[in-house]
Structure 1
Amino acid sequence: MSWLLWLIAAGLLTAGEMASLDLVLIMLAGGALGGMGVALATDNVALQVAGFVVVSLALLVVVRPVAKRHLTSRTTEQIDGVEVYVGRTAEVSERVDGESGQVKMGHDEWSARTQLDGESYEVGAVVRIVQIEGPIAYVSRA
């Protein structure tokens, strides 16, 4: 029956983590699950507490720093919308110059213009998408 107390403690610690978001209480909740695992094997309270302490410390020392670094790193920035196409290559499907043109990226057709005045690309040329404004992709030499 002591395993149920450890499970309740893990649930309460997890709920507390949702309020604090510091990644400490969730590690202690993992320790409580470790204590619960020991409680399922034995009724010895000292071993249950030892299991809680060992698992909690291991999670705090090993997992928490890695998780915190991952959550706070700036390199996990996600690019949304059409910005995902910037930097990709496309094939010219209709002559592209500063006034008009079409490029194909995968199955998508985009209206295209050259990035620099005086440039033009013929059908079949491979170009790089450098900017997207509305429905128009601005391209340059790949």
Structure 2
Amino acid sequence: MPDPADLVDTEWDVSERAWVADYLDHGQVAASWMGASRCRLCSRPNGSRDLSDGSYLWPEGLSHYVLDHAVRLPAEFFEHIEQRLQALDDLQRDGTWWRRAHSTPTGAVRPTEHAQVPANQGRKWRTSGGMQPNDPATHA
């Protein structure tokens, strides 16, 4: 890992940093760890998860480095963000599924039009007390 102090760009525009940090903060959780890391520049707690957008993986605290310390990420990553956000902007809404679902007399969705979620299939779900869902002991 590079030393973040070597990547600080004090001339980097704050609004662009905020834009990048917002993108980073909205990644999907890819992994969680048992303890929080600390910022290598100011020592504040800096997250305990890895986030992803499906292409890149980054530590949860990367947005802190970008926003609070002006740690500039590679140009390749900026291009990636712009492409991802443009692709979202270019999406067209398709309301036909909605109209189809509400064209039945009761407004109910026809089960054959949607994928069915399989039943539990023998998976064991544990609650904090070790009880299983639908166990009579858990329902008073």
* TM superposition score category, shorter chain reference: under 0.3
Whose RCO is larger (CA < 8 A, sep 6+)? 2
By percentage of residues, which structure has more helix? 1
TM-score between both structures, scaled by the size of structure 1: 0.26
More strand by share: 1
Q: Rg: which structure is higher?
A: 1
